[in-house]
Amino acid sequence: MTRAPLETLSGTAWDVVVVGAGAVGCAAARELAGRGFKTLLVDRGDIGAGTSSRSSRMLYSGVGYLAPDFPLWQIPFRPLAVWKRFLYARNIMHCRAELVRDMPHRLTKHRFQYPFRAGDRYPHWLIEFGFRLMETVASRNVPLAFRRLSPEQAAKESAMVAGLGGPVSSVGVFEEFMYAWPERICVDTALDAERRGATIRTYAKVSGIEQRGSTWHVTLDEEAPDATGRATVTAAAVVNAAGPWVDRVPGGGASETRRVLGRKGVNVMIRLPDAWRGQGLEAFSSKGETFYVFPWGDYHFIGPTELVVTEDSDDVRVLETEVDYILGEANLLFPKLALTRKDVQHAWCGVRPMSTEDGETVSLPVRAIEDPAKPGLVTMTGSYIMMHRHAGRLAARAVEKVLGKRGAPTKGMLAGIDGNDVSRIVREEHVVRLVDLVRRRLPDGLDPSLGRDRAEELSHIAAAAAGWSEERRRKELDYFDENTARVYQRV
């Protein structure tokens, strides 16, 4: 697919412009196009290159979202808050089942452990009740297969459990799924939106959104290397799905208030004992926060940190103190490992957008915020990759309130990729930079070398398919190395 100059979009009219090609934006474009809306999906970078590429890579069961953020004795006096958390956890389970049904080729299933320990934040019976409740009323034939075993029996079944330190009263065992490749889920969804009729333009930064009467004017600036250009398009509605950047999109919402705050999460990649391969663990940290050990091929990644940040997510980096915290918590769980920074392969962080609507800051649920003073402008906040389909439906319903319905939703076809036909991928899947190809179109960017082992080879294929000069090819290699070092930091 030849990339046309940005100016060719100038003067074009759309029903909806979706800003942000992360998981939520791609899903919104897919849903809107499927409902008959003429849809343009734009992003200042590549598909799935922002927050969606820094996810925890796991489909959460939803059990953790049942936990109240207030003392347990208040539960009888706050039934509405408890009911909202149940509905949210149930929705998460439904989204989990939807992805397992529709994207099995993008998921891997693993055994997870949950150690019940003295001093845990919540009573053990309550945690077990949560697992069994979700499995009974919300699993939709995708079971958690929860079992509660004695420490001795669990240790016989799992070398990871055998490595736990400290008194463990029992161990919960359940099945959970992880994204084999989260960035590719975004690409698949965007391409499905395109098959349904949407138009995709990456590396097009929104430099202004202005309402004139009932029409929105969106100005785009070219961000691709070796290219310049500007275009202004019109739309009847705009969906701001820029994740933690929604408040930084010029004209994308009320400037006097923040719709989102960012919650920073840091993860570190470590090679744990071979006998632990493919197994995961969820627990609480010494601070009472969620803590996990997730399998990733021959490795595991451990985290996260939980820190609210207000700076631009582009500027957020992993701090040495955060790595030390994660290693310290891992050593509390597994004291015999005695992990140090020398064991860390690399570390990365992401910023999850939390809604600040109604005077509270929450990471749940996903919201489609509509401003009565600006009809047709919808802002999406607070979602996860696993809920991207649900978020897309919320965005489409919000648009339909303004523009009306255009027709029954159509079903797309999520095609698989032929990983051997790299040239076709470059030509047809909106690849602009080498990093787009290595990290988000092919799985090489997620291997232990983070794609470095094949970058040279792939750069030649991409250059031939895209018509890059030798100078451009070398620049792309340099940028790939720079981007890799920035995103996946050595500590």
Q: What is the pLDDT of residues 143-154, one digit of tens each?
A: 999 999 999 999
Check whether 108 has a pLDDT greater than 60: yes
Assign residue 23 a region: left if phi > 0, alpha if psi is -120 to 50, beta otherwise?
alpha
Torsion angle, alpha carbons of 468, 474, 476, 477, to 10: 140
When pLDDT is averaged across residues 182-193 and rounded to a whole number, the result is 94
Of 220-224, 283-287, 412-416, the range with the lowest mean pLDDT is 412-416
Mean predicted confidence (pLDDT) in 323-342: 96
Of 31-35, 176-180, 252-256, 309-313, which has the strongest mean pLDDT?
31-35
pLDDT value at residue 313: 85
Check residue 170 and give its pLDDT: 96
pLDDT at residue 273 in the model: 96
High-pLDDT (> 90) share of the chain, %: 68
pLDDT category at 173 given cuts 50, 70, 90 is very high
Highest mean pLDDT among 75-79, 119-123, 330-334: 330-334
The answer for 443, left when phi > 0, alpha when psi is -120 to 50, beta otherwise, is alpha
Place 353 in a pLDDT band, splitting at 50, 70 and 90: confident
Cis? peptide before 365, omega within 30° of 0: yes
CB under 8 Å to 143, separation ≥6 — which residues? 135, 175
User: Is residue 154 within 8 Å of residue 84, measured between CB atoms?
Assistant: no
pLDDT band at 411 (very low <50, low <70, confident <90, very high): low
pLDDT of the residue at 359:
47
Residue 361 pLDDT class (50, 70, 90 cuts) = very low
How many CB atoms are closer than 10 A to CB 118? Answer: 9
3-state SS record for the chain: CCCCCHHHHCCCEEEEEEECCCHHHHHHHHHHHHCCCCEEEECCCCCCCCHHHHCCCEECCCHHHHCCCCCHHHHHHCHHHHHHHHHHHHHHHHHHHHHHHHCHHHEEEEEEEEEEECCCCCCHHHHHHHHHHHHHHHCCCCCCCCEEECHHHHHHHCHHHHCCCCCEEEEEEEEEEEECCHHHHHHHHHHHHHHCCCEEECCEEEEEEEEECCEEEEEEEECCCCCCCEEEEEEEEEEECCHHHHHHCCCCCCCCCCCEEEEEEEEEEECCCHHHCCEEEEEECCCCCEEEEEEECCEEEEECCCEEECCCHHHCCCCHHHHHHHHHHHHHHCHHHCCCHHHEEEEEEEEEEEECHHHCCECCCCEEEECCCCCCEEEEECCCHHHHHHHHHHHHHHHHHHHCCCCCCCCCCCCCCCCCCHHHHHHHCCCCCHHHHHHHHCHHHHCCCCCHHHHHHHHHHHHHHHCCCHHHHHHHHHHHHHHHHHHCECC
396 vs 315, which has greater pLDDT? 396
Higher pLDDT, 255 or 291: 291
Could you read off the pLDDT of 259-269 as tens digits, one per residue? 787 889 999 99
The length of the chain in residues reads 491
pLDDT of residue 314: 86
The set of residues, in sequence order, having a beta carbon less than 8 Å from that of 92 and lying 6+ positions away, is 60, 61, 62, 65, 386, 387
For residues 192 and 414, the answer to whether their CB atoms sit within 8 Å is: yes
Q: What pLDDT is stored for residue 419 in this prediction?
A: 56
pLDDT digits (tens, 9 = 90+) for 88-102: 889 989 999 999 999
Give per-residue pLDDT as tens, 365-402: 688 888 888 999 999 987 788 889 999 999 999 999 99
pLDDT in tens, 53-81: 887 788 877 787 787 878 888 999 999 98
Percent of the chain with pLDDT over 70: 95
Instruction: Give dist(CA 247, CA 122) in Å, integer.
Output: 36
Model pLDDT, residue 362: 47
Average pLDDT taken over every residue of the chain = 90
Per-residue pLDDT at 260: 80
pTM summary value: 0.93
- Give the largest Cα separation in the chain, rounded: 70
* Range ranked top by mean pLDDT from 41-45, 180-184, 441-445: 41-45
Beta carbons within 10 angstroms of residue 168's beta carbon? 17
Side-chain-side CA neighbours of residue 237 (13 Å): 26
Question: How far is 489 from 491, CA to CA, in rounded Å?
Answer: 6
Say how far apart CA 346 and CA 367 lie, in whole Å.
33
